[in-house]
Amino acid sequence: MKKIIVKLAVFLCLLIGNVHVNGHQLCRAQKAQTTVMTKGCGLQPIITTGCRGYCASESKPRLRGAKFVETCNCCRPLKSKIKRVVVCDSPREERLVPVARRCACRPCTII
pLDDT higher at 7 or 3: 3
Tally Cβ neighbours within 10 Å of residue 13: 13
Q: What number of residues does the chain have?
A: 111
For domain 24-107, give the fold. Answer: Cystine Knot Cytokines, subunit B (2.10.90)
- Confidence band of 38 (pLDDT split at 50, 70, 90): very high
Name the pTM for this structure. Answer: 0.66
Whether residue 46 is predicted with pLDDT greater than 90 in this model: the reply is yes
Q: Rounded to an integer, what distance in angstroms lies between the CA atom of residue 10 and that of residue 26?
A: 13
Q: Beta partners for 59?
A: 70
Could you tell me the residue ranges of all domains in the chain? Answer: 24-107
**Are 51 and 59 a contacting pair, CB within 8 Å?**
no
Over residues 96-108, the mean pLDDT reads: 95
10 Å Cβ neighbour count for 87?
20
